[in-house]
Amino acid sequence: MIATVALTLVVNAGFLPAFFFATQTAAQPTSTIRVLSTTSGSQGEERAGRYVILDPRNTFQVPSDRQVVISFQWLGSPGKHQIAGTWKGPGGLSVGSQFEYVAAEREFSAYWTLPLTAAAPRGPWTFEAQVDGEPAGTHAFEVVGADGTVPAPTPPRPMPLTRSEMLTRSLAAAVNVEGLDATGRVLERGPGTLLNDHTVVTAFRVVNGAVRIRVKAANGASVEIADLLAYDRHRDWALLKVTGVAAAEALLKPADSPPIGSGCATLSAVSDGGFSVTTAEVVGVNDYPGTGRRLSISLLNGGATPGAPVVNEYGELVGVVSEGLYPGIDTLVVRMGSLTNLPPTLVIPATAFTTITGAPMPLADLAAKGVFTPRVVKGQHVLSGGFATKILRDGGRTQPVDQKTEFTAQDQSMTVFVTWDPKERLKTVITLRLFDQDNRLLAETKPAKTTLRVGSLPFTTWELKVPPVAGIYRADVVLGSDVAWRGFFRVER
């Protein structure tokens, strides 16, 4: 139930501000407030318990505009809150008000109305909100006279979705994608995102090395294909042409680049082929040499799997979760000292692949051309691996020094290291292979005979010259003919 309360304060002759808000009943709040959106206009209406601005804009003309309406939406805690608002106008004008508000859910909102008369001061205005004594957002607008510029009418912005609705939309836009071998065995599984009724985008790693690809929708529909519509190994995406798996309500409109601080939702894959959902916030955008533009999002609770859709608060497709700057890496080793400074999740903008067309490319042709990367199939025998500037050799305390994944020409040399943990006795040969970003073999060591025994933790190292050309490189450690460990490193100029 919505209750409306109004308060009128006299500022000067003929100029009266007022505010209106909705109230419900619930328990006491326990968390801080986060601003979800602020909007101003000259008119609005209540929809499903929320107040929606019908003509969003930030410039108002007197006498044609009779009022300014400002709406705030917050994410906080259910319960009783003290809400305050202050109008600040030209010439030091400042008028404030305070009221008590009881929220039934985490998402709640309030709106204020400022009447405009001929006496309204012209110039820049600011409205400042507070919730429970803490700053809860500001909104700037301008009042101009009859000779001022009147903005063209703006189409009404769709009403923002609730957090629950965002999560539901992200689930509806997701499908399961499985890369299969010649026997039908699943090599890799991950989420895919429906772009339209015949196109799915997923992470390239899901289809890497596959003979066939299976796409399964939440409604039970399933289809198998043996080709790709398009792909980009560097940016870690693959387009699939499919039919019969997209429901109309699952299709999302591509979004413009979202503003920093805006909310979004995405999902992660779980072991049984299902998905779990999480909310996030856009925290940055960067252009990376060789791998293109990425949005950065900070996950608020949970994880995100490459290939998953990222949906904004209006139900639009922001992009698809990326594996990062090293596509194909199987694990990310995080040292204890870095746990408080984890990197944000990267997202490929939807505009990167929504305009691509072309003829399907058979998976068999891509395999013959060497597009696919050999899969890591003996990783169970590796305890750890990585890159360092050198190795400190001191008997049982031998260890890598200055571990890192970024090098420069000043480093001159680098060391690749692997600590083995064999699960069975292995009498084999070990080889290190170095590849560039285009999957071209640059160097290969002579196979070294070795015997790995259960219960031992042998340590193998290779010293290399740092490649002279800037870029991303891949190192594969091979046992016999199978890859056991893979790592990526970057060389900067």
Residue 250 lies in a domain: yes
CATH number of the domain where residue 166 is located: 2.40.10.120
Structure tokens, 46 = 């209540």
Nearest alpha carbon to residue 389 among 357, 425, 414, 412: 414
pLDDT band at 4 (very low <50, low <70, confident <90, very high): very low
Do 166 and 302 reside in the same domain of the chain? Answer: yes
CATH number of the domain where residue 448 is located: 2.60.40.2550
Residue 280 lies in a domain: yes
Domain boundary residue, one of 140, 158, 176: 158
Range of the domain at 477: 379-492
Confidence (pLDDT) at 27: 41
Question: How many CB atoms are located within 10 Å of the residue 393 CB?
Answer: 10
Q: Is the pLDDT of residue 21 over 50?
A: no
Q: Is the pLDDT of residue 288 over 80?
A: no
Do 339 and 254 reside in the same domain of the chain? Answer: yes
pLDDT band at 455 (very low <50, low <70, confident <90, very high): confident
Q: What is d(CA 369, CA 372) in angstroms, rounded to the nearest whole number?
A: 8
pLDDT in tens, 395-419: 667 788 888 889 987 888 899 999 9
Contact 67, 53 (CB under 8 A): no
215, exposed or middle or buried, with CB in 10 Å at 0-12, 13-18, 19+? buried
Amino acid at 145: G
Residue 228 lies in a domain: yes
pLDDT band at 290 (very low <50, low <70, confident <90, very high): low
Mean pLDDT of 326-335: 48
Do 197 and 65 reside in the same domain of the chain? Answer: no
Mean pLDDT of 352-367: 83
Rounded to an integer, what is the distance from CA 208 to the centroid of its chain?
Answer: 23
Looking at every residue in the chain, the average pLDDT score rounds to: 83
β-pair partners for 308: none
Residue 368 lies in a domain: yes
Do 221 and 312 reside in the same domain of the chain? Answer: yes
Residue 1 lies in a domain: no
Q: Is the pLDDT of residue 482 over 60?
A: yes
CATH number of the domain where residue 70 is located: 2.60.40.3880
Q: What percent of the chain has pLDDT over 70?
A: 85
Do 385 and 481 reside in the same domain of the chain? Answer: yes
Q: Is the pLDDT of residue 31 over 60?
A: no
Do 55 and 201 reside in the same domain of the chain? Answer: no
Do 264 and 341 reside in the same domain of the chain? Answer: yes
Do 171 and 117 reside in the same domain of the chain? Answer: no
Structure tokens, 370 = 């060497």
pLDDT band at 259 (very low <50, low <70, confident <90, very high): confident
Residue 172 lies in a domain: yes
Mean pLDDT of 245-270: 82
Confidence (pLDDT) at 331: 43
Do 153 and 194 reside in the same domain of the chain? Answer: no
Do 176 and 42 reside in the same domain of the chain? Answer: no
Q: Is the pLDDT of residue 152 over 80?
A: no
Domain boundary residue, one of 306, 341, 373: 373
Confidence (pLDDT) at 18: 40
Residue 276 lies in a domain: yes
pLDDT in tens, 68-88: 999 998 889 999 999 999 999
pLDDT band at 328 (very low <50, low <70, confident <90, very high): low
Do 323 and 432 reside in the same domain of the chain? Answer: no
| Number of domains into which the chain is organized | 3
Do 150 and 227 reside in the same domain of the chain? Answer: no
Q: What is d(CA 407, CA 385) in angstroms, rounded to the nearest whole number?
A: 17
pLDDT in tens, 372-401: 988 898 999 999 999 998 888 876 677 888
Mean pLDDT of 25-51: 75
Beta strands per DSSP E along 116-269:
123-131, 134-144, 174-180, 186-196, 199-202, 212-216, 222-225, 227-228, 230-232, 237-241, 263-269
pLDDT band at 95 (very low <50, low <70, confident <90, very high): confident
Mean pLDDT of 355-383: 88
Residue 391 lies in a domain: yes
Question: If phi over 0 gives left and psi between -120 and 50 gives alpha, with beta otherwise, what is residue 172?
Answer: alpha
Q: Is the pLDDT of residue 316 over 50?
A: yes
Q: Is the pLDDT of residue 332 over 60?
A: no
Confidence (pLDDT) at 342: 56
Contact 239, 353 (CB under 8 A): yes
Contact 118, 152 (CB under 8 A): no
Percent helix, percent strand, percent coil in the chain, to nearest 5: 10, 50, 40
Domain boundary residue, one of 158, 190, 223: 158
Contact 63, 21 (CB under 8 A): no
